[in-house]
Amino acid sequence: MKDSVRESLSYWGLYKKMRQVKRLFIPQNISFGNSKEQYFLYYEPEQIASDKVIIWVHGGGWNAGTPKYFDFVGQYAANAGYHFVSIGYRLSPKNKYPCQIEDVCNGYKAAIQWLNERNIDTSKVIISGSSAGAHLSSILCYSKSVQKEYDTDVSNIIGFIGLGGPYCFSDQTSLSVKILLNQLFAKGFDRTNGEPCSLMTKNSIPMLLIQSRNDGLIDFSCAEQFYKKAKSIGNECELYEVADKKNTHSWYTAGMFLETREENQGLDKFFSWIENIGKTMIC
């Protein structure tokens, strides 16, 4: 069965599990702009299990999704004992790039300031994102030009995890993603200014890319190209190939947070990497 068909058929099971998630934590909603889409959610764990803060950027093709929609990710992370922040941003096609990366940078800065004001340690931040969120969060971490433009200090980020991100815009880009990119960028916009692979610069933030060869939307080569670019300029990186049976785009980029670490190898890799970051160097 073609991966694109498997992707479509996977949604029913995903939505069913989403409806079954118990809301153990009520997140705080903090605005950082005038748009209703410019806000972040903060999840406070009852029992803190780590000194690391996870900051998440949601997916949805740049034109859909909100932190509230992906509440189940925050529920899982907080239940695992992590301080967790989920950043929202203005959506396309109404809002063209670079509105999205501007919001992610400003949301990140607002979240760090808000956490610091509450004496929450932000010296060890993990940035992560799924799909379109992986695209945006990777630019936040690795583009010096974007960091300079939006006055964003990333010195306290100790790791980046990207789940199924469209890091490279190539001939292997699927038709669905090409349509989404046409909505994201204004006509005539130089897309290399919004392409993570083109924007990546050398820095000290280790990277984990989680990608599936059975992804019906994002070709595996997209992560491979990003990985090779990172290696070529001396950035620490690891490319993890999803081994779970539930390996369609939606399942491994977000749906894995609906399972347990025992059930889902990708989820276990996600948290194992966070637990071990700083102890060993990955290359």
pLDDT digits (tens, 9 = 90+) for 135-162: 999 999 999 999 999 999 999 999 999 9
Beta strand 83-87 pairing with 53-57:
parallel
Could you tell me if 246 and 10 are in contact, meaning their C-beta atoms sit under 8 angstroms apart?
A: yes
Say which residue the tokens 């992804």 belong to: 215
Tokens 């080569």 appear where? 221
Q: Which helix (H) or strand (E) holds 181?
A: helix 175-184
Residue 53, strand partner residues: 83, 125
pTM metric for this prediction: 0.96
pLDDT digits (tens, 9 = 90+) for 64-73: 999 999 999 9
- The angle subtended at Cα 22 by Cα 261 and Cα 45, nearest 5°, is 70
Q: Around 164, how many Cα atoms within 13 Å sit in the side-chain half-sphere?
A: 27
Q: What is the pLDDT of residues 267-282, one digit of tens each?
A: 999 999 999 997 643 3
* Phi and psi, residue 161, nearest 5°: -125, 120
Q: What is the DSSP letter of 96?
A: -
